[in-house]
Amino acid sequence: MKKLLAFLMAGAIGAGAALAQAPAEPAGSFAAGENAFMLNGEPFVVKAAELHYPRIPAEYWEHRIEMCKALGMNTVCLYVFWNIHEPREGEFDFSGNNDIRKFCELAQKHGMYVIVRPGPYVCAEWEMGGLPWWLLKKEDIRLREQDPYFMERVNLFMEQVGKQLGDMTISKGGPIIMVQVENEYGSYGVDKPYVSAIRDIVKKNGFDDVALFQCDWSSNFENNGLDDLVWTMNFGTGANIDEQFRRLKELRPDAPLMCSEFWSGWFDKWGANHETRTADDMVAGIDEMLSKGISFSLYMTHGGTSWGHWAGANSPGFAPDVTSYDYDAPINEYGQPTPKYYLLRNTLQKYSDKKLPSVPKNKPVVAVKPFELTKYAPISAGVRRTVESTDMATMESLDMGWGSMIYTTALPALPAGSMLSINDPHDFAQVFIDGEYIGKVDRVKNEKTLILPAVKEGAKLEILIEAMGRINFGRAIKDFKGITDGVAVSYSSPQGHAVKYDLKNWRIDLIPDDYEVGVEALSRGIEAKAGERGYYKGTFKVNKPGDTFLDMSAWGKGQVWVNGHPLGRFWKIGPQQTLYMPGCWLNKGENEIIVLDVVGPEALSVEGLTTPKLDDLNLEKTNLHNNPGDCPDLNSATPAAAGAFSSGNGWQTVTFAAPAKGRYLAIQALSTQAGGEAAIAEIYALDANGQRLSREPWTAKYANSENDAQGNHTADKVYDLQESTYWATVPGVAAPHLIVIDLGSEQTVTGVEYLPRAEQGAPGSIKDYKIYLY
C-alpha cells in the first residue's frame, strides 16, 4: 500500500503538484521516547545522510538520494540556506536548484525520511553561514541575537520555509521527522532567550507538530539547552563516543542518543593540505553507535560543490574554503561511491533486516581535450557602478553582495620605503601606482601593509580588492567586504618625525561577479594573451556530455562560468586545482566558458580531466611555523606555570600562581602521557577575570614540529574553535615540544585551558608542561 501511494505521489510531482497540496502518505508519528526514538510507535534508529541540495545539480538530486538509500541510510538531513533563497531583501526563490520541496518529495519517493535544519544560521562552510549579506547593510546589526531587524527578517524567511515544507511533517503524511533549531549556538554565545525565540519562530511556521532538536558539542551544549527540545551531539570520526554522550546521559538518563553530525571527513581551505579521515575509523564509529542503538547523521555523506561564490571561510583568522566540498565523504563530490562507501555499506547492511538496494550506476565521466580561451577584456570592463566618497566605504554599504572593487585616490609625494596600510583588506588586495603593479596584500596571510617605491605628488593609487566567501563560523561572521576602515601611508622624515596621511577622496568602482557582467565586458573583447588580469572567453566541443574536471592549474585566481553556470572559485595556491563540471550542464556540441582571473593566467589553456585534483598545494612559502628565528630562547625565562596534566579526555585548566604579561604564549610539552608525539586540540588563555580571551587576533608564531604529512595538524589548529582538529608533532620527533601563539598584542594572562584530542585515550596528550608569556 505504502509503495503504491509513493508511486502515485511521484506521478503527482511529475505533473507539477500544487505547492500547498498535502502529501498523499498516511499520517505517521515520530518522537523521542524512553531510550529510543519512536517511529509510528516502534523504536527507530535514525541513520541519516547529510547532503545539501544547492551543492548538487538538481538534475542529479534523485541519483544522490538513491546512492544514500543504497548505502543503507533511512533518512536524509539537509540545511536550508537562507541566503540562496533570499538573494535580495524580500525576493524569495524556491525554484530550480533551490526547490527544497521537490528535494524532500524525491526523498519521500524513495522511502527516505527527512531532517530539516532551517537555521537561520547553518555554518556549513557556506557564505556567511547561510545568512544573507544584505543584513550587513544595517551596519550595527547584531547577528544571531535578538536584534529587532535580524529577528524580523528571520521571521519572514521562516514563514517562507513553512510555506514550502510546513505541510510535509510526518504527522501530516510527509517525510519530515525532525527539525533543528539554530545550529551549534554554543560555539557562538550563551543566550537561551535568543535560542527560545528561534524555537518559537520555527514552531509557529508549520513545525509545531514535529520533533524539534538542537545540536551542539558535548563540552558546551548545556549553555543553551532548552528543556523542551531534543538534544543531540556533534563530533567527528575517531571521537570517544561514550565520552561524547557522558554528560547528556547524566542530565537526561532516559533520552535517546543521537550524533546529529558525525563528521566523515573535513573541509578544505585554500593554501592548506587536503583533509581526509580514515575509512576504518569512520566506519568503526558508526558501528559502535549502531551497536548501542545510537542514531546518527553522517556529515557529509555526499558533500558536493560550493558553486559560484557560495563557499564560506573559517575563522579565527581568515581561511576561505575551497570550491569542492568533497569532504572525503563516502560519496565523492561527483556522486561516485568511494572505498569508504563500500566499507560503510557492509556495516550498515549488518544493521538492516532487508538486503540493501543495489548501488546506482555512476554518471558518465568524459575528458575534454585542451583548448584555449581566445577573447579578453580587462577587469575595468566589468565596472557596473562608480561612486565618489570622501571616506572609505565597504561593499555592503554600496549595496553590492559579491565581486571585486577598485579603490582609487591620489597619493602625496612619498620617499621610497614608505608604508601603505590597508585596514583591513577583505580579502585579496592588489596595489597599483600609476598603473604599475606594486604588490599584493592577502588577508589569508593576515597581511595589511606594503612597502612602496618613491612616488610623486598626485600619483594614482589603485587598490583592486577581490572578495572571497564571508566567514561562516564564530563571532567573525559579520564579515564586511572591500576595505573595512581606511587606508594610510606613512614614513619617517629625515629628521626622524613620523609622517602619516589618512587617504581620502576615493573613487570606488564596483564589479559584481554576475555572469552577465562577464558576457557584457567580453562583448567588447579583444584577442587574449596570457598574464593579464581580466575576463577570458572560449568555447569547447563535447561529443557526449559527461562529468569532467576543468584543470585550472595554469590560471591565477578567480571564478569560472560554463554555459552560464557558476562553477566556483579557483586559486593556483591549491590544494584544489580542478573544478567539477557536471555533465548535465554541458551541451552536446559547443559550450561557452568564461573565466575571470584577477591575477592573470600563465597560459590560456584549460582541459577536462577524468579525475579531480584536490590535493595539489602550490605555495610560495611553507605553511609550517618552523622558522628558527621565531623560536624563543626560554632557557633563562621563568615559566608562568609548570606542572603535569592528568591523562584522559576533556578540558583541563591551569591557573597561574600570579598573573603573567606578554604578547606571546609559549607552551612547552616536556613529555607526553604515552611517550611519542604531542597533540593539542584547543587552547584558551584566561584574562585577569578568569574569562577566555578572544582568540580572533591570534596567529601561530612557532611550532618545533607539525604533522602535515598525515593530515593537517599545523599549530593554528589549537585556536580554530574546532574540538575535532588538533596540532600534532611528527612521529619520531622527540620531546620537548614547543608551540608559541602570538596573542596579537600584550595581554595579562591568569591561566590556560587545554583540550587534548577527542579520541579514546586522548592520543598525544601532554604530561609535563611549562607555560611562558613573553
Stretch of residues binding ligand GLA (CB under 6 A), selected from 119-127, 196-204, 448-456, 525-533: 119-127
Q: Among 125, 127, 182, 184, which one carries the catalytic annotation? A: 184
Name the residue number minimizing CB distance to ligand GLA.
Answer: 123
Three cell numbers written together for 404: 571585486
To ligand GLA, the closest distance from the beta carbon of 293 in angstroms equals: 23
Name the one residue in this structure whose C-alpha cell is 533518512. 75
Closest to 301 measured CA to CA, from 288, 315, 283: 283
Cβ neighbours, 10 Å, residue 39: 19
Is the previous residue joined to 612 through a cis bond, with omega within 30 degrees of 0?
no
Q: Which amino acid is residue 412, in one-letter code?
A: P
Name the one residue in this structure whose C-alpha cell is 560543490. 305
To Ca ion, the closest distance from the beta carbon of 696 in angstroms equals: 15
To ligand GLA, the closest distance from the beta carbon of 208 in angstroms equals: 24
Considering the rule CB under 6 A, would residue 240 count as an interface residue with ligand GLA? no
Closest to 277 measured CA to CA, from 289, 288, 268, 264: 264
Strand blocks (E) in 118-221: 176-180, 211-216
Considering the rule CB under 6 A, would residue 98 count as an interface residue with ligand GLA? no
Name the residue number minimizing CB distance to Ca ion.
Answer: 725
Stretch of residues binding ligand GLA (CB under 6 A), selected from 123-131, 144-152, 580-588, 645-653: 123-131
Considering the rule CB under 6 A, would residue 231 count as an interface residue with ligand GLA? no
> Quick one: CA dihedral 692, 695, 701, 706, positive or negative?
positive
Closest to 644 measured CA to CA, from 489, 461, 458, 768: 768
Which one, 74 or 725, has the nearer CB to Ca ion?
725
Which parts of this chain interact with Ca ion (CB under 5 A)? 681-682, 717, 720, 722, 725
Considering the rule CB under 6 A, would residue 234 count as an interface residue with ligand GLA? yes
To Ca ion, the closest distance from the beta carbon of 578 in angstroms equals: 29
Three cell numbers written together for 473: 563560523
Q: Among 50, 182, 261, 677, which one carries the catalytic annotation? A: 261
**Burial class of 344 by CB neighbour count within 10 A (0 to 12, 13 to 18, 19+):** buried
Count of chain residues binding ligand GLA (CB under 6 A) = 9
To Ca ion, the closest distance from the beta carbon of 769 in angstroms equals: 18
Which one, 261 or 427, has the nearer CB to ligand GLA?
261
Q: Choose from Ca ion, ligand GLA, none: what does 717 bind? Cβ within 5-8 Å by kind.
A: Ca ion
Which one, 327 or 698, has the nearer CB to Ca ion?
698
Considering the rule CB under 6 A, would residue 183 count as an interface residue with ligand GLA? yes
Q: Choose from Ca ion, ligand GLA, none: what does 183 bind? Cβ within 5-8 Å by kind.
A: ligand GLA
Q: What are the CA-CA distances from residue 219 to residues 390, 441, 645 (Å)?
A: 48, 37, 19
Which one, 100 or 640, has the nearer CB to ligand GLA?
100
Q: Choose from ligand GLA, Ca ion, none: what does 720 bind? Cβ within 5-8 Å by kind.
A: Ca ion
Beta bridge partners of 559: 569, 596
Q: Choose from Ca ion, ligand GLA, none: what does 75 bind? Cβ within 5-8 Å by kind.
A: none
To ligand GLA, the closest distance from the beta carbon of 230 in angstroms equals: 16
Three cell numbers written together for 187: 560555539
The one among 65, 71, 124, 508 contacting ligand GLA by CB under 6 A: 124
Q: Element (H or E) spanning 744, and its range?
A: strand 737-755
Which residues from 637-696 bind ligand GLA, rule CB under 6 A? none
The one among 86, 167, 184, 268 contacting ligand GLA by CB under 6 A: 184
To ligand GLA, the closest distance from the beta carbon of 324 in angstroms equals: 13
Q: Which amino acid is residue 4, in one-letter code?
A: L
Which one, 238 or 556, has the nearer CB to ligand GLA?
238
Closest to 652 measured CA to CA, from 673, 687, 682, 628: 682
Question: What b/e string do you get for 681-695 counting C-beta neighbours within 10 Å, with b at 16 or more?
Answer: bbbbbbbeeeeebbb
Rounded CA separation 446/467 (Å): 15
> Quick one: CA dihedral 664, 668, 672, 677, positive or negative?
positive
- What values do phi and psi take at 642, rounded to 5? -145, 145
Which one, 105 or 184, has the nearer CB to ligand GLA?
184
Name the one residue in this structure whose C-alpha cell is 543566550. 191
- Verify whether residue 261 is a known catalytic residue: yes
Q: Choose from ligand GLA, Ca ion, none: what does 261 bind? Cβ within 5-8 Å by kind.
A: ligand GLA
- What values do phi and psi take at 418, rounded to 5? -65, 155
Stretch of residues binding ligand GLA (CB under 6 A), selected from 29-37, 116-124, 362-370, 399-407: 116-124
- Verify whether residue 396 is a known catalytic residue: no
Q: Which amino acid is residue 557, in one-letter code?
A: K
Going by C-beta distance under 8 Å and a sequence separation of 6 or more, which residues neighbour residue 1?
A: none
Which residues from 418-457 bind ligand GLA, rule CB under 6 A? none
Are 716 and 693 in contact, with CB atoms under 8 Å apart? no
To ligand GLA, the closest distance from the beta carbon of 313 in angstroms equals: 12
Closest to 131 measured CA to CA, from 111, 115, 145: 145
The one among 25, 125, 167, 275 contacting ligand GLA by CB under 6 A: 125
- What values do phi and psi take at 748, rounded to 5? -95, 125
To ligand GLA, the closest distance from the beta carbon of 190 in angstroms equals: 17
Q: Choose from ligand GLA, Ca ion, none: what does 184 bind? Cβ within 5-8 Å by kind.
A: ligand GLA
Rounded CA separation 125/313 (Å): 6
Q: Choose from ligand GLA, Ca ion, none: what does 468 bind? Cβ within 5-8 Å by kind.
A: none
To ligand GLA, the closest distance from the beta carbon of 236 in angstroms equals: 8
Q: How far apart are the first and last CA of the chain?
A: 73
Which one, 234 or 276, has the nearer CB to ligand GLA?
234
Q: Choose from ligand GLA, Ca ion, none: what does 125 bind? Cβ within 5-8 Å by kind.
A: ligand GLA
Beta bridge partners of 751: 655, 686
Considering the rule CB under 6 A, would residue 123 count as an interface residue with ligand GLA? yes
> Quick one: CA dihedral 436, 442, 443, 448, positive or negative?
negative
Q: Choose from ligand GLA, Ca ion, none: what does 725 bind? Cβ within 5-8 Å by kind.
A: Ca ion
Which one, 123 or 429, has the nearer CB to ligand GLA?
123
Q: Element (H or E) spanning 597, and its range?
A: strand 589-597
Name the one residue in this structure whose C-alpha cell is 550524533. 259
Contact track, ligand GLA, 257-286, x by CB under 6 A: ----x-----x-------------------
- Residues of this chain that bind ligand GLA (CB under 6 A): 122-125, 183-184, 234, 261, 267
Show which residues are catalytic: 184, 261
